[in-house]
């Protein structure tokens, strides 16, 4: 079947919308008509070649749409089901069994390399195979092949463009606070970075009943939105934050902020590392300050949650008005993908979402 997809030819290349062929779903695959897809920071990290993705490739990993067909042996999903797509995992290892598939040993190949199992379909341009199955989807496209494990069925009355980002950015911020840190009512939290992940952490902190919610960012308009969402204080530099905090969530990936974060941690406080960190930043952290007061530092992938369990919780919060996604999302026609990416990189828009059916 012919589809339209945004192909990135080489590292650092543009997103070019082209006609590709998508194969029929194989075993453990479902074909999804993509209605909307969020633009996530990790799409830019992959586009820039910071991860060994299979160029030319189709990115996009906050897809939302409607199941078109299912592959042989797939149960529990049927054509017409409305779905949100998330990251992929093996479903069989100890992390997956513990409902923490972000720590699956196959996370890297399944999400960044787009590794396909035998007999599974992918994307082609003429005779050439195009890198697909990124995050088990490749949703910068009018159709994508996903897997039952990274497809979450949702009610048909829900607005897919608003909820597409639940499957990555929103679950990452909210899951970190609610599931990994398990913030208790009255506890304090500082959140570094007021992008989609950081603002999801703010909304989750409100849901959990946090006392102080401090938000750090360089963009004043993002801090204002954070206040609107429930942050009780905001800062443009860590020097102006007053600790201690029971929890600190770093979404910036900036190693320079981590020393300040440790200094701001309360006794028995936890620093969650959520950002995309450079692989060898030669961090210098005061180990005795961690040891002596029972502080913790924890790495977090995708919030540490299982999308099959957590995304339905997020939808309940959305329905109850506790996750006002409309304040974060701005929609763009698929053809305006460059503008959407630009607005994300400049910080002008928190969460651009592409609408595939508005392809020119």
CA dist 308 and 328 (Å) reads 23
**Ramachandran region of residue 55, left (φ > 0), alpha (ψ -120 to 50) or beta?**
beta
The least distance separating Zn ion from the CB of residue 74, rounded to whole angstroms, comes to: 19
Chain residues 217-276 in contact with Zn ion, contact rule CB under 5 A: none
Q: With CB under 5 A, what is the number of residues at the site for Zn ion?
A: 8
For residues 190 and 226, what is the distance between their CA atoms, to the nearest angstrom?
Answer: 12
96 contacts Zn ion (rule: CB under 5 A): yes
Interacting span for Zn ion (CB under 5 A) from 18-26, 32-40, 50-58, 114-122: 32-40
CB 97 within 8 A of CB 171: no
| Nearer to Zn ion (CB atom), residue 38 or residue 269 | 38
Pinpoint the alpha helices (H) of the chain. 41-47, 94-97, 107-111, 160-163, 169-175, 196-208, 220-229, 258-264, 287-292, 307-319, 337-346
Which of residues 106 and 246 has its CB atom nearest to Zn ion in the complex?
106
Minimum CB separation of residue 288 from Zn ion in Å reads 35
Does 42 interact with Zn ion (rule: CB under 5 A)? yes
Please report how close the Cβ of residue 307 comes to Zn ion at its closest, in angstroms.
12
- The Cα–Cα gap between 261 and 273 comes to 10
Instruction: List the interface residues with Zn ion, window 149-178 (CB under 5 A).
Output: 168
Following DSSP, what letter does each residue of 151-187 receive, concatenated?
EEEE-TTS-HHHHGGGGTHHHHHHHIIIIIS-PPTT-
Pick the closer one to Zn ion by CB: 37 or 74: 37
Closer of 43 and 246 to Zn ion (Cβ) = 43
Q: How far is the CB of 143 from Zn ion (least distance, A)?
A: 20
User: What is the nearest approach in angstroms of Zn ion to the Cβ of residue 30?
Assistant: 19
**SS3 call for 325:** helix
| By the rule CB under 5 A, 44 interacts with Zn ion | no
Least CB distance from residue 156 to Zn ion, whole Å? 25
Judged by CB under 5 A, which of 45, 93, 254, 266 binds Zn ion?
93
By beta-carbon proximity to Zn ion, the closer residue of 173 and 243 is 173
Cα–Cα distance between 193 and 219 in angstroms, integer? 9
Using CA atoms, how far apart are residues 14 and 342, in angstroms rounded to an integer?
Answer: 11
- Displacement of CA 215 from its chain's centroid (Å): 19
H/E stretch holding 272 reads strand 265-273
Interaction between residue 89 and Zn ion (CB under 5 A) = yes
Q: Residue 308 Cβ, how far from Zn ion at the closest point, in Å?
A: 13
Partners of 167 in the β-ladder: none
Nearer to Zn ion, 42 or 270 (CB): 42
Q: Which is nearer to Zn ion, 104 or 272 (CB)?
A: 104
What stretches of 23-177 adopt beta strand conformation (E)?
30-38, 57-58, 63-70, 82-85, 123-125, 128-130, 143-146, 151-154
Selected range binding Zn ion among 94-102, 180-188, 189-197, 228-236, rule: CB under 5 A: 94-102
- Contact letters for Zn ion, residues 100-139 (x by CB under 5 A): ----x-----------------------------------
- Which listed residue (31, 37, 40, 350) binds Zn ion by CB under 5 A? 40
Which residues sit at the interface with Zn ion, rule CB under 5 A? 40, 42, 89-90, 93, 96, 104, 168
């Amino acid at each position: 079947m012919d589809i339209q997809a945004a192909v990135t030819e080489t590292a650092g290349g543009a997103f070019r919308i082209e006609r590709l062929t998508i194969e029929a779903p194989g075993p453990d695959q479902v074909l999804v008509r993509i209605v909307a897809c969020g633009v996530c920071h990790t799409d830019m990290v992959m586009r820039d070649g910071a991860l060994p993705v299979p160029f030319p490739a189709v990115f996009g990993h906050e897809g939302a749409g409607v199941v078109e067909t299912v592959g042989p042996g797939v149960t529990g999903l049927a054509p017409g089901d409305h779905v949100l797509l998330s990251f992929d995992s093996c479903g069989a290892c100890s992390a997956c069994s513990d409902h923490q598939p972000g720590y699956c040993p196959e996370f890297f190949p399944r999400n960044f390399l787009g590794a396909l199992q035998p007999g599974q379909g992918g994307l082609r341009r003429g005779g050439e195979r195009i890198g697909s199955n990124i995050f088990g989807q490749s949703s910068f496209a009018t159709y994508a092949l996903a897997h039952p494990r990274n497809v979450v069925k949702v009610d048909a009355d829900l607005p897919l463009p608003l909820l597409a980002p639940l499957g990555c950015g929103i679950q990452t911020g909210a899951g970190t606070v609610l599931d990994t840190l398990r913030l208790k009512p009255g506890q304090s939290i500082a959140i570094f970075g007021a992008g989609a992940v950081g603002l999801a952490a703010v909304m989750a902190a409100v849901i959990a009943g946090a006392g102080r919610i401090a938000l750090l960012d360089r963009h004043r308009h993002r801090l204002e939105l954070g206040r609107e969402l429930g942050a009780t204080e905001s800062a443009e530099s860590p020097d102006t934050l007053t600790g201690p905090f029971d929890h600190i969530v770093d979404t910036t990936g900036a190693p320079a902020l981590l020393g300040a974060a440790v200094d701001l941690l309360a006794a028995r406080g936890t620093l969650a590392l959520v950002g995309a960190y450079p692989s060898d930043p030669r961090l210098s952290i005061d180990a005795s300050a961690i040891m002596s007061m029972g502080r913790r530092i924890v790495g977090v992938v995708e919030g540490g949650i299982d999308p099959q369990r957590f995304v339905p919780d997020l939808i309940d919060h959305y329905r109850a008005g506790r996750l006002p996604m409309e304040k974060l999302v701005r929609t763009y026609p698929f053809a305006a993908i460059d503008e959407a990416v630009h607005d994300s990189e400049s910080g002008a828009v928190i969460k651009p979402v592409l609408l595939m059916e508005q392809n020119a």
